[in-house]
Amino acid sequence: MTSNNKIQMLSKILAHICYGLLFILPIVSFSMWLKVDWFPIFFNDQYDASTFDIRTQAFGIVFSLLPLSIWMYGLFNLRQLFRNYAAGLVFSFENAAYIKRFAWMSIIGGGLSPFFGAGFSLILSMNHAKGERFLQIGLGTTEIHIMLLGFVFVIIAHIMEAAHKLSEENNQFV
């Protein structure tokens, strides 16, 4: 098996995984809010599920659309990139654009993650008694890594664009 065939086969698998995630992530996100008694399992009893009402669920579903839309758009671009790779289109201007969009979604998603977490903590504690409501803001190494990798991919996308332009110029000489 040649190296191109391996790239195409792996890219096809990754495109299918991204496609599956585009369906699974919204279903899981909405299911979590519709079945709020699962929260103590996932969050180590940090939240009292007995205080959740339909308003908590509605706010949670609507608010979760913000981070979900960022990551879904990033996944969509990643899927398109891998579809092109699977089709044998590797060094194209279009692929550089897909990489750049995915990278910016990673930077934006990682940068906004502490604020999304703060919003979720407010939503999940809004029905608690006064004095038990809380706002939790956290910036961890995961968010920093996501943003740094996003910046690396932005640079790679710019390099791919420049390489594509040089390749087109070289093809005009032949």
User: What confidence tens digit (pLDDT) does each residue in 85-136 have?
Assistant: 999 988 889 999 999 999 999 999 999 999 999 998 888 888 777 887 778 8
> Which pLDDT value is given to residue 49?
67
> Which pLDDT value is given to residue 112?
96
Distance CA 81, CA 20 (A): 15
> Which pLDDT value is given to residue 101?
97
Most confident of 52-66, 110-124, 144-158: 144-158
| pTM of the shown model | 0.85
Confidence class of residue 15 from pLDDT cuts 50, 70 and 90? very high
User: What confidence tens digit (pLDDT) does each residue in 19-42 have?
Assistant: 999 999 999 998 888 877 666 666
- Rounded to 5°, angle at Cα 42 from 74 and 110: 30
Mean pLDDT of 149-155: 97
Paired tokens of 137 = 């803001």
Mean pLDDT of 70-87: 97
The domain ranges of the chain are: 3-173
> Which pLDDT value is given to residue 128?
75
| 173 has pLDDT over 80 | no
> Which pLDDT value is given to residue 38?
66
% pLDDT > 90, the chain: 56
Q: Which residue has the higher pLDDT, 164 or 173?
A: 164
Confidence class of residue 46 from pLDDT cuts 50, 70 and 90? low
Mean pLDDT of 44-49: 62
Q: Which residue has the higher pLDDT, 3 or 94?
A: 94
129 by Cβ neighbours in 10 Å (0-12 / 13-18 / 19+) ranks as exposed
How long a stretch of residues is the chain? 174
